[in-house]
Amino acid sequence: MSLLHVKSFEDYKETYKKSVERPEEFWSGIAETFKWRKKWDKVLSWDFKDLNVKWFEGAKLNITENCLDRHIVERGDKPAIIWEPNEPGEAHRVLSYKQLLFKVEQFGNVLKNNGVVKGDRVCIYLPMVPELVIAVLACARIGAVHSVVFGGFSAQSIADRINDAKAKLVITADGGFRGKKVIELKDIVDDALGQCKSVEKVIVLTRARIPVSMLKGRDVWWEDEIIKVETQGNPHCPPEEMDAEDMLFILYTSGSTGTPKGVVHTCGGYMVFTGYTFTNTFQYQLGDVYFCTADIGWITGHSYIVYGPLSQGATSLLFEGIPTYPDAGRFWDITDKHKVNILYTAPTAIRSLMGFGDEYVEGKDLNSIKTLGSVGEPINEEAWEWFHEKIGKGKAPIVDTYWQTETGGFLISPIAGITPEIPSFAMFPQPGIQLVLVDENGKEIEGNDVSGNLCIKFPWPGMLRTTYGDHERCKKTYFSTYEGMYFTGDGALRDEHGYYRITGRVDDVLNVSGHRIGTAEVEDAINKHSDVVESAVVGYPHAVKGQGIYAFVVGNHRHTDEPDLMRGDINKTVSRIIGAIAKPDKIQFVSGLPKTRSGKIMRRILRKIAEGDTSNLGDTTTLLDPEVVEEIKRGAEEMRSK
């Protein structure tokens, strides 16, 4: 069976129907196209109440055999990874499947030499260089569980993630390049490790060659460790045989409460789901050059730079830098240089590049582009049209892919060039995804031209299995709001044709430049500032970032004398605790927050004020102190008029 089996809209409808009527048969057909050491005894067993989901039970595999070894005979010399460095003047690198396998085996042996065994957790904090892909796959090769931490997170965030997973080893680099900046990665790791007892070893890659501290017995250089492996003389590292339900990785993500959760994905189902959705959605044809601009620190990079494309024998382009360096034409230069056929990016990048003006696109060829993709947040019509006209030359289909860290891969998306598309609609469920819209009480809303909270009522192979170390929390967060269903946290509408449009989060999770941030997390960080009494954080519409962060802060005396300085202090505090990505865009000092008599903050009111819409704040009579709302409104207007 080819994974390019959907050839028309009719095919899609038929495939979808079959996939929900006979899911086991559908998914085992897809799974047959992968390489298994031993086939499964049972395709699926599940129970959403106790949250126990198993796909391909009894099967044995190693995902790297699927991503590497199985391509060697036919595609060994074909490019697996094309790497484009931050500086356009630096030479790019191409790793063929053979070369990538060789390096993964080598580094797998490095990990073993440093005491890592199957089941150990390894934290990876690297820039976007080929060694990041190598490190991820080397973990999977030996059955270690990787936890990649995005380079924009602070030392404190790294420490929290390392401690939660009890990681034994950290892989980092001296520094990484992002535009004109050098990020001192090893320094940040060193700051984190003061709090981390579980870490025995740190492997440090040379990238920026900036001075770093190296501790005897703990810190070793990547390059030295490779030489050791070379002198040991055995270049091979046999793939560890894994159960389909063994853990593949942990990836931390923000929710509406508390600290980030370690979303757990397992080997078999995740592989099948990412491989299938990659090929099917993009209609990837062997030989196409595919460029996903995401960072491997997020799920998009895991699923659609590394595992999905490589399991399909694709050529995946990896870019170290940022879209605006050296200028706002960089994505288009890369597209022309490497003849990119499929470009997958985020609305925030599109809006930002649009804002620099068309002169950065004009004069670029872009004729290689066949398909475009968007991910991470709702794409507004204006950005969609620009992407379509200027980049897709009016002819390349755009797949607006809706999904989440927890879902492993695409839930809703058009199929490129095959199913219809409408700007700002994610359109159709992927085969196998059983969507439901529910009302506040969890009652299913049937029919078309309706909206509600988006849930999924049947398992799919790429879904999360648990949150690391806290199964109860996983059950509670995702499977208890509406009984018997997975709740996405997003609202959606189904129009009169049955097409889906995502309307955004209905919980307290923000989506800032496509980065997921919990308001509670930001509040906790702000509240750690010594001069802050309390705070409330909400999102507001932001022209480029999609959402901006608006913080209402009750301070003690200091902010009245030097408000801007205090804002700077708060930003610095948040950067230290979470990372610069969580810094509020606006901070308004207030004397109190609107609370109900039971002490609950009325966020609805704050959200309206942050949006600049104070005409109808709804019922404020239940407030403890309605006066405070007037003061906050005045303050917000003052800030806006400045």
Shorter beta-carbon distance to ligand WTA: residue 120 or 490: 490
Q: Is the dihedral of CA 306, 302, 430, 422 positive or negative?
A: negative
Residue 290 dihedral angles phi and psi, to the nearest 5°:
-115, 130
Nearest to 275 by CA among 302, 296, 242: 302
Cβ atoms 55, 268 nearer than 8 A? yes
Tell the smallest beta-carbon distance from residue 351 to ligand WTA (Å): 14
Please report, as ranges, the residues that interact with ligand WTA according to CB under 6 A: 253, 298-300, 375-378, 400-405, 426, 488-490, 502, 505, 511, 516
Q: Helix (H, G, I), strand (E, B), or coil: what is residue 517?
A: strand
Tell the smallest beta-carbon distance from residue 402 to ligand WTA (Å): 4
Shorter beta-carbon distance to ligand WTA: residue 214 or 422: 422
Tell the smallest beta-carbon distance from residue 505 to ligand WTA (Å): 5
Tell the smallest beta-carbon distance from residue 520 to ligand WTA (Å): 16
Residue 545 dihedral angles phi and psi, to the nearest 5°:
-80, -5
Cβ atoms 94, 85 nearer than 8 A? no
Query: In this structure, what token pair is assigned to residue 25?
Result: 């048969």
Q: Can you name the residues that pair with 492 across neighbouring β-strands?
A: 452, 502
CA distance 227 to 220: 12
Tell the smallest beta-carbon distance from residue 474 to ligand WTA (Å): 15
Tell the smallest beta-carbon distance from residue 152 to ligand WTA (Å): 13
Tell the smallest beta-carbon distance from residue 592 to ligand WTA (Å): 31
Tell the smallest beta-carbon distance from residue 542 to ligand WTA (Å): 15
CA distance 229 to 505: 48
Residue 104 dihedral angles phi and psi, to the nearest 5°:
-65, -40
Query: In this structure, what token pair is assigned to residue 240?
Result: 């560890």
CA distance 429 to 82: 31
Query: In this structure, what token pair is assigned to residue 474?
Result: 């996983």
Question: Per residue, what are the HEC states of 322-350?
Answer: CCCCCCCCHHHHHHHHHCCCEEEECHHHH
Bond prior to 326 in cis (omega within 30° of 0): yes
Shorter beta-carbon distance to ligand WTA: residue 283 or 401: 401
Tell the smallest beta-carbon distance from residue 375 to ligand WTA (Å): 5
Shorter beta-carbon distance to ligand WTA: residue 261 or 330: 261
Shorter beta-carbon distance to ligand WTA: residue 279 or 547: 547
CA distance 204 to 221: 5
Q: Give the CB-nearest residue to ligand WTA.
A: 405
Strand ranges of the sheet holding 289-292, from the earlier edge strand across to the other edge? 93-96, 79-84, 315-319, 289-292, 342-345, 371-375, 398-401
Shorter beta-carbon distance to ligand WTA: residue 202 or 426: 426
Query: In this structure, what token pair is assigned to residue 619?
Result: 């019922």
Shorter beta-carbon distance to ligand WTA: residue 56 or 479: 479
CA distance 433 to 280: 14
Q: Helix (H, G, I), strand (E, B), or coil: what is residue 602?
A: coil
Tell the smallest beta-carbon distance from residue 294 to ligand WTA (Å): 8
Shorter beta-carbon distance to ligand WTA: residue 279 or 535: 279
Tell the smallest beta-carbon distance from residue 100 to ligand WTA (Å): 25
CA distance 391 to 599: 51
Tell the smallest beta-carbon distance from residue 255 to ligand WTA (Å): 10
What value, to the nearest 5°, has the Cα angle with vertex 136 and ends 134 and 138? 65
Nearest to 56 by CA among 246, 307, 306: 246
Shorter beta-carbon distance to ligand WTA: residue 97 or 486: 486
Shorter beta-carbon distance to ligand WTA: residue 391 or 632: 391
Shorter beta-carbon distance to ligand WTA: residue 291 or 298: 298
Shorter beta-carbon distance to ligand WTA: residue 97 or 403: 403
Q: How far is CA 141 from CA 63, 103, 110, 404, in A?
A: 7, 11, 12, 25
